[in-house]
Amino acid sequence: MRNFFALHRNVRLRIGLAFVHKLIDAMILTFIAIYLAAHVGVAVAGALILVFAAFAVVGMLAGGHLSERWGRRPVLVAGDLVGTAFLALMAVAYYAGWGALAVYFSYAIVKFGTNLALPANDATIIDVTPPGQRKFVYTVNYWVINIALGTGALLGAFLYSEHFGAVILGGAIGMAFALTITVTLVAETKPDTPRPPAKLTGLAQFAEGYRVVLADSTFRRLIIAATLILTLEGQLSTAIGIRLATDFPTQEVVPFGAVTGVQMLGVLKAVNTVLVVVFALVVNTLLRRMPDRARLYAGIALYAGGFAVLAVTDDAWLLLAAVVVLTVGELMNLPVQQALLAELAPEEGRPRYLAAYYLHIRFGQVVNSVLVSLSAVLATQGMAAIYLLFGLVVILQYRVILARRATPAAVPVPETLGR
């Protein structure tokens, strides 16, 4: 606790507000899909949910560009302002009976606003966190987010049927609180670096900024690694979840009693969340002297190996053991991965780098959908082999990243990117 309060005030505030944002997201996002399916049908709901991804991508890329031009704080304020206004509009649409599409489009704009602020949020943390503190900061942030996601999903599940409108209204109030804290307490952290006059403006400047980011081959490798890690994570809810729902025989699992495949999936997710919440800070403390290379390689091996076991076994206790193993791997790997992100995103152009990095979420969704289709034709051993191959590719990406990190090269920033 003493270490946390020794952090810069901006970092403490952004971690606290991360809890608020993720709590709201978990209470609404999962259940908006159920709401849409009930009102416009499953097929249309699926198409509408895909549009969320488009809003998120546009918001992130715009947020990265604007955070570099205007500074972090104005974009954070803009994101929370959009979120507050359109959650309030969403609540009005719900209670006034304007229809499911009005509720949906209000929330789509909310997602745009939250993703607009995402690069600025992470840049704010990195700007004022010394490299030696970053693993600790990202571990605490990850711990807080997991508590928020678990709490939000639980509250949303119990409140959805009778009080979904109240959930939306509560989200608007929570976002207004976040906006107030951002306006009154969060300071600007953008480095005051003199830059030459801009030769490009508007969309040309926007495109050139991201061209520079994607020309950084080391950073591209980090995006590839993050995409494959996220794809593995998503398999528990998709291909592995489908396999458990169809093939898992009902078994006795203490203390849950007789569980079906769907219930077993819920148990596995609950165990993962509880382990993260209970052990995240402990694991980081125990491993603080472990070299990054060993921590990454071992963590990824455990993570991919755990998912490979989940792909092939129907034994409940083996499934639980695999989740414990992959969670340990997750806790070993994630703080180092996030610290590498902070290190590889240079001070000049940092929000753009962060925005480009978060595209791995969308890339992961695409790869995830492909693997769901493959799981229909491949044997379970084939899926396990793919997961192990992903782990190997991630380790190879980190091998190159860490080698280049030992002899870093300056990242050129062309004059055309000046203000």
Asked if 393 and 259 touch (Cβ cutoff 8 Å), the reply is: no
Asked if 182 and 77 touch (Cβ cutoff 8 Å), the reply is: yes
In whole angstroms, give the CA distance from residue 343 to residue 357: 13
At position 258, the amino acid (one-letter code) is A
pLDDT in 10s for each residue of the chain, 419 residues: 677 888 899 999 999 999 999 999 888 876 787 788 888 887 787 778 778 778 888 888 888 888 888 889 999 999 999 999 999 999 999 999 999 999 999 999 999 999 999 999 989 998 898 888 888 898 899 899 988 988 887 788 788 888 899 999 999 999 999 999 999 999 998 877 655 545 545 566 667 667 777 788 898 999 999 999 999 998 887 888 888 888 888 888 877 778 888 788 878 888 888 898 888 888 878 888 889 899 999 999 999 999 999 999 999 999 999 999 999 999 999 889 988 988 888 877 888 888 888 888 888 888 887 888 888 888 899 999 999 999 999 999 999 999 887 554 444 443 333 32
Question: How far apart, in Å, are the Cα atoms of 337 and each of 65, 157, 223, 302, 394?
Answer: 23, 32, 10, 15, 11
Per-residue confidence (pLDDT) for residue 180, from 0 to 100: 97
Asked if the 1-187 domain carries CATH number 1.20.1250.20, the reply is yes
* CATH node for 199-407: 1.20.1250.20
CB atoms within 10 A of CB 157: 13
Region for residue 97 given its phi and psi (left: phi exceeds 0; alpha: psi -120 to 50; beta: otherwise): left
Question: How far apart, in Å, are the Cα atoms of 246 and each of 150, 253, 373, 379?
Answer: 26, 18, 15, 14
What's the pLDDT tens digit per position in 246-271?
A: 888 888 887 777 888 878 887 888 88
Output the pTM of the full model.
Answer: 0.79
Per-residue confidence (pLDDT) for residue 200, from 0 to 100: 47
What's the pLDDT tens digit per position in 24-63?
A: 988 887 678 778 888 888 778 777 877 877 888 888 888 8
Per-residue confidence (pLDDT) for residue 355, from 0 to 100: 86
Q: Name the token pair of 72.
A: 């972090």
Q: How many residues does the chain have?
A: 419
CA 279 to chain centre: 20
In whole angstroms, give the CA distance from residue 114 to residue 109: 9
Comparing C-alpha atoms, which of 23, 171, 172, 20 is closest to residue 85? Answer: 172
In the chain, where does the domain assigned CATH 1.20.1250.20 lie? Answer: 1-187, 199-407
Three-state SS for the chain is CHHHHCCCHHHHHHHHHHHHHHHHHHHHHHHHHHHHHHHHCHHHHHHHHHHHHHHHHHHHHHHHHHHHHHCHHHHHHHHHHHHHHHHHHHHHHHHHCCCHHHHHHHHHHHHHHHHHHHHHHHHHHHHCCCHHHHHHHHHHHHHHHHHHHHHHHHHHHHHHHHHHHHHHHHHHHHHHHHHHHHHHHCCCCCCCCCCCCCCCCHHHHHHHHHHHHHCCHHHHHHHHHHHHHHHHHHHCCCHHHHHHHHHCCCEEECCCEEECHHHHHHHHHHHHHHHHHHHHHHHHHHCCCCCHHHHHHHHHHHHHHHHHHHHHCCCHHHHHHHHHHHHHHHHHHHHHHHHHHHHHCCCCCHHHHHHHHCCHHHHHHHHHHHHHHHHCCCCHHHHHHHHHHHHHHHHHHHHHHHHHHHCCCCCCCCHHHCC
Comparing C-alpha atoms, which of 390, 391, 395 is closest to residue 294? Answer: 395
